Structure 1
Amino acid sequence: MLKNLIKKSKSIHVLGASGQEGAAILAFLNKMGVKNVIAHDFCEEQDFKKSFEIFHKGLKKRERNELWKKIEISAKTFYFKDNYLENIFQADLIFAPQSWHRFEFNKKVFEAKRKGIPVFSMSQLYLEFNQGFSIGVTGSNGKTTTSNLIKFILSEIFPKLTVNLVGNDRANKQILEDVQTFKKDSILVLEMSNRQLKFDFPKTPIISVITNITENHLDEHNDFKDYAQTKAKIIGKNTKYAVLNYDNEFTREIGSKLETKVIYFSLKEKLKNGVYFEDNNVYFDNCFLGDLRDFQLKGDHNKENLLAAVATIIAYFLNGNKDYKKIEFSKYWKEFKTVSKRLELVKKVKGIEFYDDVSSTTPESTIKGLEAFKKDNVILILGGNHKNTDYRILSDYLKENKIKFYILPGNVRGKVKTRGIKKETLEEVILEILENALKKTKVLISPAGENFHTLFLRAKGGIKKMVIRANKQLIWKKYIDEKYKNLWRYHKLLNKKKIPERCFLQIDKDFSPLENFQENLYFKREDKNKLGSHKTRSLGYQISYLYYRDIKRAAISTTGNAGICVAAYSKKAKIDLTVFVSPKINKGKLSMLKKAKIDLRISEKSGEELKRFLNETSAWDLRPSRDINSVYGMKSLGFEIYEQMPNLSSKYAIFLYASSGSSLIGLFEAFSNLKKLKLIKSLPQIHVVQSGKVSSSALYFDKGKKNFKEGNPNIELRAKKMINCVKKTKGFGWYIENEEYENARKILRKSKIKIGEESIKAFAGYLRAVREKKKFKKAVVIVTGKRF
């Protein structure tokens, strides 16, 4: 029927083009060579590819890109939000996703149906064009696990046969475009939801399975009777065997009216001509099939799913006149692992186990999940939206069994009458559990409602990653002092020899911003610190140390930024400060230094003058190359970046202009501390940027020369350490020529970003790295100082 319709149709419309079903249908029609296709998607045209990627995130990147290319050429016209369903009444045939009837914007499709335009789905195409054997599985609960069990065991028993499984899970790759190539001896296992069965099926599966029928999706049906009848549509004229749950009164009633051969399964009754469970063993018609000692799935409901799968495989054997008695079934089912999002243990932290049961969207399925942990200390997490079903059974169960549970937003809250702990986000629930729960607690995320993923998990990486992040938060909390949002926030990590809190000198009271400049590029705006430079970190620590040690005199030579910072801190510590600068110093910086109450000395040979001064006095040498405290202060920059970018790894790159190397070494030591604490798995790449005479570290990488500055052992030693740090992070060094600097400056000027010369060079280093195709996911340019 469908084959002829497709051939005869002059205009075929496909709805939900970016979705899993719509895209699969478009790829299928494209492979058939159908040219008269019009595609619709209720999104803005500019969001079409983004929507496609969201719906197909379960695919590998290569597979997703290949499918996208097919979709782009699959239709002669694409209609998006503003023109959605244009010319729909001129269609000869419409293909729609299973949920089309739920959306107000599809009301024209109802009208098209009334006009006699046929509306079909992806599932009908699978069954119509499949040349091999077909097994369809539906049910209010358990259909996904049952489908996976059937596929797994059949594949193990018949390794030479191709067994394909398709269903609702976005993690599954749709293979509709290849369905016509399936061989006659292949097996197609099709998981079929209530929404798919609302369509009419000219061709039904050869074996049709109904795991159970309980209240579900009543918001989409006239009543429960209508829902049950929809489920029964999986059994049709060409169905040879119906596999039904004997313990469920509704499936048992369906079976009593069938002319089709029926194989029942039961967890409670010993059946004749059926699969049943007794003394932890599985039997069919008194024939022993195996024991469940090594079956890995938890809960009686999973035993029931296994019985359904075994009954289906028995039906397959009987249909082909094969001898099932020689098969050692338990050999296969003991190897089966949990299906994703169905009582799946996703993470164990501090003895607390987190189970993902997000696919349990009804009260009954959540109770079955809880039953699996009857002997354990269990905490339940509920949330999402109900499907107009009765929640009294769940409310009573929670009360009778005194189960502690959290309930997240959604109208399930109003349905569950037993008092739970209300929270707004899954993150805060997980954090609270990790802080307070006892060891050996089982945490079951089983929402008893739909839309849980959309409301609480989308774009958050799943439950496992959320638990890992929450655990890291708790670890991190031990090492930070939340009173502060400056370098002293990390005083427990900066140096083993602690400076007492009474000596913490502060000027900045907040983090410097991390600004997104381009898609994967961020600027760490240290120029927006109160003193306009990242030097506030190193010198804030250095002067606090002098204040603690009661050292009253200090000196430094500087190009300006360090002088401005040290003057401010020295004033707080009441330290006599002498600053040596060159006459070539920036006028704006010089002006600020002159306003400070310091001993300011301008000399062509400021470095030599400083050395002489230090020899003649007892002043403390504040030069970062000579004072290790500068490195300790700079570690705070690395810790702060981590707080702003907690996913730091070797896929991230940090670009920094460095001269003395304190900031670079401080970053490296901070990242190394984070790795030791298991807060990051790998060190982010550190890319050192230099130019002019201060270039020995960058030139080591960029020109392949160990071009250390001769005659200065301190600089040589520090340069070697810088090179070693960069090597350990698998970063690189970039020597910036004047032309590259000017190019970077023009780009920033167009974006109206005013930053210091060294920061522009750091950005130029990033641009070089991109040109030379260095690999990193995200990059951070440290803006070390402002433009004066």
Structure 2
Amino acid sequence: MRKLEGFPYKKVLVLGLAKSGTAVSQLLHRQGIDVVVNDLKAQDDNPSVHLLRSLEIKVIIGDHPLDLLDDIDVIIKNPGIPYENPLLEVAQSKKIPILTEIELLHYLHVNDLIGITGSNGKTTTTTLISEMLKESSIPSRIAGNIGHVASEVAENLAENETMVVELSSFQLMGIEYFKPKVAVLLNIFEAHLDYHKTLENYKYAKANLFSNQTEEEYLVYNADDEQVNEMIKKANAKLVPFSRKSKLPNGAYADDTYIYYNNTKVMKIDDIALVGSHNLENILAAVATAKLYNVSNEAIKNVLQTFVGVAHRLQFVANKEDRLFYNDSKATNILATTKALQAFQKPIILLAGGLDRGNSFDGLKPYMSNVKGMVVFGETASKLIDLGKEIGLENIEKVNNMEEAVKCAFQLSSPNEVVLLSPACASWDQYATFEERGNMFMNSVHKL
């Protein structure tokens, strides 16, 4: 077990249970740090509350008493808790540091770490990089937003293992010294503005991924993305670009036929199993990263010839009477849905809707030429109905839940068409997670 070395805080308030809060509370307790846990919504019968109290960790639930701040040195908060939380606002006025659990990776001395962020494609790219390392017999562990809590994995990481970590803007807001050996910045699109308030705040959070890097580290970045190109001007790391639009003197790029790295052919594009032009960007990012670890072309080919995607991300579900059903529940913003729409040439019945974050859906308009009908649900249903009417769709149906949506979409569709769940919204108005939403979709498809 790795030890927290140089951790300057003696008493920690962990704010928010969930998976990360529960894990980090146990980690700190094992490392001999004095921990108190506070969660607003948890009940006494919550298994995490029982577990932590059985370890004699103090757990306060039901409210956020401000006197908790009287004798603590630092807050480690659940990434999803906004900084406008009253307890956090008082903590900021008292200049109490507010971190997320990934900062602990610095004190656990995880030096061989690949960190992946971006508005879309994080999970696919993280998985591809991990698979390429494994195919090349490089020991690695996957963590972060995908898989296990990052600090929990880091505590038990072997010296010869590489950590491959998917990181959200919420996590990256709460760092001081954390830095990866290889940072991967995929793309930037206006997202999570209900949390970050402005695009500049969002970009600032994402840029934290490489803000502490030096010339000894690497930054793999999307040379096709204007926002990314602006952000990386402040980077100190060695720059490794990727592009699906331009030939590059170094880094990874694609033409109509091949993928290249440093102007050397890696493999034919036709041999890649994963569909969608947006996934080509994810693939190029993974190739560029893998090459920094000297992964062979053969290992890269073996992965890309067989990898067909991860759950809830343009995941093929079933063929029902010649209708092809795809689960893209991870599409929690407009950019992700535009990428999904571009992946298909066939007519599409689009299932969309969810949490209303105040945005319009005008950004979908240029990509809806193949959309034959829409089935909408959730808080944004009326906005999506307006969108459908504006582009002249005749088949627009509003439903209450996913089972109704699937049945309705099947009725609207014809053979040789695609039924695509790509909501363009977070799930939290009706479902706890996008995974729960996607599973409901798949279960409903299988019931047809």
Structures share fold, TM-score greater than 0.5: yes
**1:574 — aligned with what?**
none
For residue 379 of structure 1, give the secondary structure of its aligned residue in structure 2.
strand
Which blocks of at least 5 consecutive residues in structure 2 are unaligned? 390-395
**1:354 — aligned with what?**
325
Q: In the alignment, is the contact (CA less than 8 A) between 1:382 and 1:408 conserved in 2?
A: yes
Q: Distance in 2 between matches of 1:255 and 1:12?
A: 34
Question: Is it true that 1:441 corresponds to 2:410 in the alignment?
Answer: no
Q: Rg bigger for which structure? A: 1
**1:334 — aligned with what?**
305
Taking structure 1 as reference, are residues 142 and 460 closer, same or farther at Cα in structure 2, changes over 3 Å only? closer
Q: In the alignment, is the contact (CA less than 8 A) between 1:267 and 1:304 conserved in 2?
A: yes
For residue 95 of structure 2, give the secondary structure of its aligned residue in structure 1.
coil
Q: Distance in 1 between matches of 2:30 and 2:150?
A: 12
**2:6 — aligned with what?**
4
- CA displacement 1:296-344 (0-9 Å, x = unmatched): 2210001110001111112334xxxxxx566552122212231111001
For residue 425 of structure 2, give the secondary structure of its aligned residue in structure 1.
coil
- The count of aligned residue pairs is 435
For residue 44 of structure 2, give the secondary structure of its aligned residue in structure 1.
helix
Q: Distance in 2 between matches of 1:402 and 1:337?
A: 24
User: Alpha-carbon deviation of 1:222?
Assistant: 4.0
Aligned-partner residue type, residue 220 of structure 1? Y
User: Alpha-carbon deviation of 1:84?
Assistant: 5.3
The aligned runs of 1:59-138 (5 Å cut-off) are: 71-82=52-63, 87-101=68-82, 106-138=85-117
**2:346 — aligned with what?**
376
Taking structure 1 as reference, are residues 389 and 89 closer, same or farther at Cα in structure 2, changes over 3 Å only? farther
Q: In the alignment, is the contact (CA less than 8 A) between 1:166 and 1:189 conserved in 2?
A: yes
Pick aligned residue for 1:189 from 164, 181, 194:
164
User: Alpha-carbon deviation of 1:430?
Assistant: 1.0
Q: Distance in 1 between matches of 2:428 and 2:58?
A: 35
TM-score (norm 2): 0.89
Q: In the alignment, is the contact (CA less than 8 A) between 2:317 and 2:325 conserved in 1?
A: yes
User: Alpha-carbon deviation of 1:452?
Assistant: 5.4
Q: Distance in 2 between matches of 1:461 and 1:332?
A: 26
For residue 272 of structure 1, give the secondary structure of its aligned residue in structure 2.
coil
TM-score (norm 1): 0.52
Taking structure 1 as reference, are residues 402 and 95 closer, same or farther at Cα in structure 2, changes over 3 Å only? closer
Taking structure 1 as reference, are residues 286 and 24 closer, same or farther at Cα in structure 2, changes over 3 Å only? same
Q: Distance in 1 between matches of 2:116 and 2:109?
A: 16
Aligned-partner residue type, residue 378 of structure 1? I
For residue 252 of structure 2, give the secondary structure of its aligned residue in structure 1.
strand
Taking structure 1 as reference, are residues 370 and 127 closer, same or farther at Cα in structure 2, changes over 3 Å only? farther
For residue 211 of structure 2, give the secondary structure of its aligned residue in structure 1.
coil
User: Alpha-carbon deviation of 1:221?
Assistant: 2.6
Question: Is it true that 1:286 corresponds to 2:263 in the alignment?
Answer: yes
User: Alpha-carbon deviation of 1:130?
Assistant: 4.1
* More strand by percentage: 2
**1:145 — aligned with what?**
124
Taking structure 1 as reference, are residues 127 and 341 closer, same or farther at Cα in structure 2, changes over 3 Å only? farther
**2:176 — aligned with what?**
201
**1:37 — aligned with what?**
35
Pick aligned residue for 1:264 from 241, 247, 254:
241
For residue 169 of structure 2, give the secondary structure of its aligned residue in structure 1.
coil
Pick aligned residue for 2:196 from 214, 217, 221:
221
Taking structure 1 as reference, are residues 291 and 439 closer, same or farther at Cα in structure 2, changes over 3 Å only? same
Aligned-partner residue type, residue 153 of structure 1? M
Taking structure 1 as reference, are residues 348 and 213 closer, same or farther at Cα in structure 2, changes over 3 Å only? same
The aligned runs of 1:191-590 (5 Å cut-off) are: 191-239=166-214, 240-317=217-294, 327-373=298-344, 375-389=345-359, 391-398=361-368, 400-411=369-380, 413-414=382-383, 417-419=387-389, 420-451=396-427, 454-455=430-431, 458=436, 462-469=440-447, 471=448
User: Alpha-carbon deviation of 1:253?
Assistant: 2.1
Taking structure 1 as reference, are residues 37 and 361 closer, same or farther at Cα in structure 2, changes over 3 Å only? same
Asked which structure has the greater RCO (Cα within 8 Å, sep 6+), the reply is: 2
Aligned-partner residue type, residue 383 of structure 1? G
Q: Distance in 2 between matches of 1:164 and 1:251?
A: 27
For residue 306 of structure 2, give the secondary structure of its aligned residue in structure 1.
coil
User: Alpha-carbon deviation of 1:459?
Assistant: 8.9
Q: Distance in 2 between matches of 1:164 and 1:90?
A: 36
- CA displacement 1:688-739 (0-9 Å, x = unmatched): xxxxxxxxxxxxxxxxxxxxxxxxxxxxxxxxxxxxxxxxxxxxxxxxxxxx
User: Alpha-carbon deviation of 1:412?
Assistant: 6.0
Taking structure 1 as reference, are residues 340 and 294 closer, same or farther at Cα in structure 2, changes over 3 Å only? same
Q: In the alignment, is the contact (CA less than 8 A) between 1:132 and 1:186 conserved in 2?
A: no
Q: Distance in 2 between matches of 1:289 and 1:414?
A: 45
Q: Distance in 2 between matches of 1:217 and 1:460?
A: 20
Taking structure 1 as reference, are residues 279 and 402 closer, same or farther at Cα in structure 2, changes over 3 Å only? closer
User: Alpha-carbon deviation of 1:210?
Assistant: 0.6
Taking structure 1 as reference, are residues 44 and 283 closer, same or farther at Cα in structure 2, changes over 3 Å only? closer
* More helix by percentage: 1
Q: Distance in 2 between matches of 1:92 and 1:345?
A: 48
Aligned-partner residue type, residue 109 of structure 1? L
